């Protein structure tokens, strides 16, 4: 049986098991769209504050009743005078090539999760994901993200709230959860947290097997994924240290997880999805030529500019451009020029040399 295979998450059926993780500052709808075009089977928005979402619904485009009115061409949030609104809308709106996507929420209060999830119907997400793994201080200090793993009951309440909102307002789409191994090395409790989430109605658990204390340093412990697969009855998605197609193949083989989730390995490299599928199905893959990378850069930039405006998109694209050109011969010189680019045409000239 091929390691590339369909995945069923509650009522949601996916054709393959290669997912794009939520990465703050990178996985806006333009990048998710490109990853979907390159073979990502499922993608997740950047984490969104549940409380900020329901307290500022107009900022996220949710005051408009019809989904079609959220398109870049007609949404009032794509007016250049509303840059903050454009950016917020861009985070959670479905990308043009995304057939399946999930909106990821974070929040310490279950009532906030419920209120936020209840107003997402215009966006028609295919799943809701609850972030219980983010290690950054501004999330953790408010009791959200990986801080929830200190008290697994908080995870259960958040999932229950999301499931209730899904049933009442979203047609019963599945609720999933993303966790870490634990808060620190003395409190490895991923199994308890995962089971609590499943008991509360979670249809999938994603495990990044590092502790919060590790942040993104050290090595992730894939044996935790293997163990969790044996413990719970819903699909387990593995994350952590996936930078090449071979890494993905190894994780699927060694852990038995249902799917893998690329995070940093996909930044600037959306081709990793098609490359991994090729490896899993044929045993070989080919690197993306420089021309493919530059074409992806321009698609990404033009898609982003269509929603948030050319000037803002060009500024946002600088960090993405660094990721796209990492490891590319002459990349340093290109990056040095790109930090001053303010128009699409300037990016085009930089790439053309």
The pLDDT value recorded for residue 78 is: 40
Q: What is the pLDDT of residue 58?
A: 64
Structural tokens at position 349: 């000239």
More confident residue, 74 or 318: 318
Mean pLDDT over each residue of the chain, to the nearest integer: 90
- Inform me whether the pLDDT recorded for 308 exceeds 90: no
- % of the chain surpassing 70 pLDDT: 91
- Helix, strand, or coil (residue 171): coil
Strands 18-20 and 42-44: parallel
Does residue 76 have a pLDDT over 70? no
> Which residue, chain included where needed, has tokens 């990465």?
23
Average pLDDT over residues 167-179: 97
pLDDT at 75 over 50: no
pLDDT score of 80: 42
Task: Report residue 341 as tokens.
Answer: 């680019």
- Assign 83 a pLDDT band (cuts: 50, 70, 90): low
- Between CA 223 and CA 232, with CA 229 as vertex, the angle to 5 degrees is 135
Full set of structural domains in the chain with CATH: 7-282 (3.20.20.70), 290-352 (1.10.1200)
Sign of the torsion formed by the C-alpha atoms of 341, 343, 346 and 350: positive
Alpha-carbon radius of gyration of the chain? 20
Least confident of 54-63, 70-79, 139-148, 230-239: 70-79
**pLDDT for the residue numbered 25:** 85
CA 171 to chain centre: 22
Instruction: Report, as an integer, the average pLDDT of 97-106.
Output: 95
Residue 216 in this model has a pLDDT that exceeds 50: yes
Which residue, among 65, 55, 58, has the nearest Cα to 115 in the 3D structure?
Answer: 55
The model's confidence at residue 163, banded by pLDDT at 50, 70 and 90, is: very high
Length of the chain: 353
- Top-confidence residue, 86 or 21: 21
Q: How far apart are CA 191 and CA 349, in angstroms?
A: 52
| pLDDT attached to residue 55 | 82
Q: Which tokens sit at 76?
A: 């009032």
Mean pLDDT of 286-301: 91
User: In which band, very low, low, confident or very high, does the pLDDT at 96 lie, cut at 50, 70 and 90?
Assistant: confident
What pLDDT does residue 70 have?
37
As annotated, the active-site residues are 134
Confidence check: pLDDT of 340 > 80: yes
Could you write out the DSSP letters of every residue in 172-228?
A: T--EEEEEEEESSTT-B-HHHHHHHHHHTT-SEEEEEEEETTTTT-S---THHHHHH
CA angle 150, 212, 204 (to 5 degrees): 75
pTM of the predicted model, to two decimals? 0.90
The whole-angstrom separation of Cα 46 and Cα 267 is: 13
d(CA 26, CA 259): 21
* Helix locations, the chain, DSSP H: 29-37, 50-55, 83-92, 110-118, 137-140, 152-169, 190-199, 223-231, 245-255, 272-282, 290-308, 310-324, 331-338, 344-352
Determine the pLDDT at residue 141. Answer: 94
What is the arithmetic mean of pLDDT over 97-113?
95
Closest-CA residue to 200 (of 232, 256, 167, 162) = 162
Mean pLDDT of 140-160: 96
């Amino acid at each position: 049986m091929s390691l590339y295979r369909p995945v069923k998450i509650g009522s949601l059926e996916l054709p393959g098991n290669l997912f794009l993780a939520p990465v703050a500052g990178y996985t806006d709808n333009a990048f998710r769209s490109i990853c979907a075009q390159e073979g990502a089977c499922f993608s997740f928005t950047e984490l969104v504050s549940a409380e900020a979402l329901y307290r500022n619904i107009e900022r996220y485009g949710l005051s408009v009743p019809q989904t079609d009115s959220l398109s870049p061409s007609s949404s009032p949030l794509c007016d250049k005078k509303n840059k903050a609104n454009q950016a917020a809308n861009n985070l959670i709106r479905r990308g043009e090539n995304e057939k399946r996507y999930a909106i990821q929420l974070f929040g310490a209060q279950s009532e906030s999760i419920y209120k936020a999830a209840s107003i997402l119907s215009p966006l028609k997400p295919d799943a809701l994901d609850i972030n219980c793994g983010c290690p950054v201080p501004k999330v953790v200090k408010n009791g959200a993200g990986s801080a929830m793993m200190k008290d697994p009951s908080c995870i259960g309440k958040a999932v229950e709230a999301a499931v209730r909102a899904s049933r009442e307002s979203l047609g019963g789409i599945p609720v999933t959860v993303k966790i870490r191994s634990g808060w620190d090395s003395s409190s490895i409790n991923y199994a308890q947290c995962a089971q609590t989430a499943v008991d509360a109605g979670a249809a999938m658990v994603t495990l990044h097997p590092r502790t919060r204390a590790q942040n993104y340093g050290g090595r992730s412990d894939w044996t935790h994924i293997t163990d969790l697969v044996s413990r719970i009855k819903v699909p387990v998605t593995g994350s952590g240290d996936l930078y090449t197609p071979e890494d993905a193949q190894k994780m699927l083989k060694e852990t038995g997880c249902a799917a893998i989730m690329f995070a940093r390995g996909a930044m600037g490299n959306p081709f990793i999805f098609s490359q991994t599928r090729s490896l899993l199905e044929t045993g070989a893959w080919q690197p993306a030529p420089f021309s493919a990378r530059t074409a992806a850069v321009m698609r990404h930039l033009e898609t982003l500019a269509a929603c948030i405006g050319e000037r803002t998109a060009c500024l946002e694209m600088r960090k993405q451009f660094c990721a796209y050109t990492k490891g590319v011969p002459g990349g340093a010189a290109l990056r040095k020029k790109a930090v001053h680019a303010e128009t699409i045409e300037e990016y085009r000239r930089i790439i053309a040399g």
